[in-house]
Amino acid sequence: MQSKTKTLLAALIAAGIIPAASAADIKLGVAEALSGGAAQYGASIRNGFELAAAEINGEGGINGDKIVLVVEDEQGKKEEAINVFKKLIFKDNVLLVFGPTLSNSAQAADPIAQASKVVVFGTSNTADGITTIGNYVFRNSVTEADVLPATISTVKEKTGLKNVAVLYGNDDVFTKSGYDNFKKALEDQKIPVTTTETFAKGDVDFKAQLTKIKGTNPDAIVLSALLAEGAPIMVQARQLGLNVPVIGGNGMNSVKIFDLAPGGASNNLWIGSPWSIENQTPQNTKFIDAYKAKFGNAPDQFAAQSYDALYIVAQALKNTKFSGNIAKDRAALRDALPGVEWTGATGPFKFRQVNDRAGKPAGYDADQAPIVSVTRDGKYVIEN
């Protein structure tokens, strides 16, 4: 009788009359700038997450459970990032929130996740102070403080530069933090600054600042900018005959620079990052090939970091015992994350905990060494 019952049940399931039992979904929030000026970063980040999710789910998910990404557009705006975080945390009940794209938005929205005891995991935030918000704040994007000294040191060694001019955006958390770290690195390495010029987000004409810079005859330009302003700065610099090296921060590390500053204008841009498209490790080659096959173009640093981030979280999820209580499960995931070590597209990775301003343990930064590359004829060439 029991055998007949099982046979009948199987037949009903096969006919679609009774739904088959399905694995539980693991909902993870993705808050990224998919429109507006930062969308060129956000789109790459979303692609990285989608590729990793497809691979992980295709290999059995998390102990048989499927990862579901709940994606929201925070538009690169602080107010919208706050709204999106509230939706993902309180309405969608996600286990974790990835994002937001820009450091400005992270400074505004991450405190909501911290107060709600929900892990927020940044894959593109590199400004100082973000992980000091609290112990639910993580990122795998290597900070400007870690990367910029190595970048400057490599350029100095390779080109023999003796002085630099500095140009930075003074109305953005990320570009201001980049300037602060550039300034410290230049002082530490005893490299004189010929002049310091500023611009604002949304500016399109930089000829006045670049003309002043040219008049000081620098050996290189140190540039803390996002790509929207950084690419035209490079184009206009070359038009003025400023063909010196440009030393950029995290915001300039994208293959899109070759489209936005064409015809050789993008040449001689020096960037430090844990990821390079020219790094021929098995994990990176696998990622690049899979990304090209899925999206039809080459990935950038931001796609690589989000791709690795989901794999890092997946390792923590596999070591998390779920209770069915969302608050307890969020806390369990937080407790599992710090111990994850992973080798992916960006190389060997682990977390290091930072202290807040009072000296108490807070969030977690990436512990990774940067690769320094320079652009030549539409390619990044590794130099260190």
pTM of the model: 0.87
Retrieve residue 89's tokens: 């945390």
- Specify which residues 189 forms β-bridges with: none
Alpha-carbon distance 236 to 261, whole Å? 9
> Is the per-residue pLDDT at 20 higher than 50?
no
Q: Is residue 10 part of a domain?
A: no
**Paired tokens of 207:** 């000829």
Q: Residue 65 gets which letter from DSSP? A: B
Instruction: Tell whether 18 is covered by a domain.
Output: no
Residue 4 lies in a domain: no
In a domain, 17, yes or no: no
CB atoms within 10 A of CB 225: 28
**Whether residues 185 and 241 fall in one domain:** yes
**Residues 246, 263, 160, CA angle at the centre, nearest 5°?**
25
Check whether residue 163 and residue 214 sit in a common domain. yes
Confidence at residue 251, expressed as pLDDT on a 0 to 100 scale: 86
Collapse the DSSP code of 23 into the 3-class scheme (helix H, G, I; strand E, B; otherwise coil) and give the result.
coil
Q: Which residues pair with 373 in a beta bridge?
A: 271, 382
Domain span at 338:
25-142+280-368
Answer whether residue 163 is part of any domain. yes
Query: What is the token pair recorded at 374?
Result: 């320079």
Q: What is the pLDDT of residue 234?
A: 98
- Could you report the per-residue pLDDT of 76-125, keeping only the tens digit for each? 999 999 999 999 999 999 999 999 999 999 999 999 999 999 999 999 99
Q: Let me know whether 152 and 235 are in one domain.
A: yes
Return the CA Rg of the chain: 23
Q: Which of 221, 248, 273 finishes a domain? A: 273
CA distance 138 to 129: 12
Q: How confident is the model at residue 22 (pLDDT cuts 50, 70, 90)?
A: very low
Report the C-alpha gap between 52 and 249 in whole angstroms: 26
Q: Are residues 236 and 258 in the same domain?
A: yes
pLDDT level of residue 10 (50, 70, 90 thresholds): very low
Residue 155's Cβ-side half-sphere holds a number of Cα atoms within 13 Å equal to 31
Is the domain of 197 the same as that of 235?
yes
Burial of 358 (0-12, 13-18, 19+ CB in 10 A): exposed
| 22, burial (CB in 10 Å: exposed 0-12, middle 13-18, buried 19+) | exposed
> Tell me, what CATH number does 210's domain have?
3.40.50.2300
Average pLDDT over residues 345-360: 96
Domain boundary among 216, 239, 273: 273
Considering the domain architecture, whether residues 167 and 255 belong to the same structural domain is answered as yes
- Average pLDDT for the chain: 93
Residue finishing a domain among 251, 273, 295? 273
How far is the CA of 228 from the CAs of 138, 223, 252, 274, 357, in angstroms?
Answer: 26, 13, 9, 22, 32
**What total number of domains does the chain contain?**
2
Question: What is residue 24's predicted lDDT score, i.e. its pLDDT?
Answer: 82
In this predicted structure, the answer to whether residue 315 has a pLDDT above a threshold of 50 is: yes
For residue 23, the model assigns a pLDDT of 53
